[in-house]
Structure 1
Amino acid sequence: MNKTIVNSLKKRLEGVKGNWVEEQSNVLWAYRTMPKRLTGKTPFSMTYGAKAVVPVEVSLLSSRITSFAQRRNDERMIKNLDGLEEHRDIVAVRLTDYQQRLAQGYNRKVKS
């Protein structure tokens, strides 16, 4: 995780020196809202059980923003939070499967 964030900061700062503080929030937002290959989910959704609203959607008044209703949103958030534990369990199973396949591939190459 830290290596990914540092590398992203380096890429964003190639032409601009000393502005890492301004770019840090953008890099962290991008990291938190991009699906990870291992889990297929974003760290944001794993934490909050919902998709993140990208700032561009707010400024352009996307359909997600224009159809927003507070009461309906609250009901959906409660429903999402109720299912969050199951969501995490599914990801834990995928993680275990990935680790087992990785170990098998590694062990196949080991010579006794």
Structure 2
Amino acid sequence: MSDNYKDWPLKIPFALWGYRTSIKTATGATPYYLVYRMEAIHPIELEVPSLTILLERQVPEADWIQARYDSLVLLDERRLNALYQVRLYQKRIERAFNKKVKPRKIKEGDLMLKSVRALLPIDTWGKFKPNWAGPYLRKRILTGGAVRLTDLDGNDFSNPTNPDQLKKYYP
């Protein structure tokens, strides 16, 4: 949309308008509606009147106020519907994610390697820093799937570890 690199800030309002007035899959509603409690009227509808605009112009003010009040009463229902849509969307995403998960056959007492994610000074290790530390003993599996580790001397780690950061060690 932009002709050169200097005029892109002028296009941001149009992009935001498009984002705020398009229906999102997760909620089933537009962000504009969830904030302002009414659907947005597009600028082109003011130039070329749509059916919505024509009907609103012909309605007496008392009837318009009553219709607006009714839409506000139904707002909580629409928001609950959006919340329900979000939950359905999250379940759908979870199912898609869980299809790719491979079950691991790891039990308590196995030897594990833990990934090293802490930043080390570049001048000491550089690209030769170790990716895995260990071996450690898998002491206990917690209810959420987290793991308690101990080193081979029997010293416990203070924090549980996510199983994604572990791999089985074969001596």
Question: Structure 1-normalised TM-score?
Answer: 0.73
Name the one with the larger helix percent.
1
> Which residue of 1 is the match for residue 11 of structure 2?
23
CA contact (8 A) 1:44 1:50 kept: yes
Query: Runs of 5+ in structure 2 lacking a partner?
Result: 105-171
C-alpha displacement of 1:79: 1.3
Equivalent residue for 1:84, pick from 75, 83, 86:
75
- Match of 2:64? 73
Aligned to 1:98: 89
Which one has the largest radius of gyration?
A: 2
CA gap of 1:62–1:110, structure 2 versus 1, over 3 A, is: closer
Aligned counterpart, 2:125: none
Say if 1:48 and 1:76 are closer, same or farther in 2 by CA, change over 3 A.
Answer: farther
Partners of 2:78 and 2:14 lie apart in 1 by: 27
What CA distance in whole angstroms lies between the structure 2 residues aligned with 1:35 and 1:56? 18
TM-score of the two chains, using structure 2 as the length reference: 0.51
Specify which structure has the higher proportion of strand.
2
The 8 Å contact of residues 28 and 85 in structure 2, kept in 1 or not, is answered as no
How many residue pairs end up in the alignment?
A: 100
Report 1 or 2 for greater relative contact order, CA contacts < 8 Å, sequence distance ≥ 6: 1
- Could you say what the CA RMSD is over the residues aligned between the two structures, in angstroms? 1.9
1:44 equivalent in structure 2: 32
Task: Tell me how far apart the structure 2 counterparts of residues 102 and 63 of structure 1 sit (CA, whole Å).
Answer: 37
How much has 1:30 moved relative to structure 2?
0.9
Residue 61 of structure 1 pairs with residue 49 of structure 2:
yes
Q: Secondary structure at the match of 1:107?
A: helix
Aligned 8 A contact 1:48 1:81 in 2: no
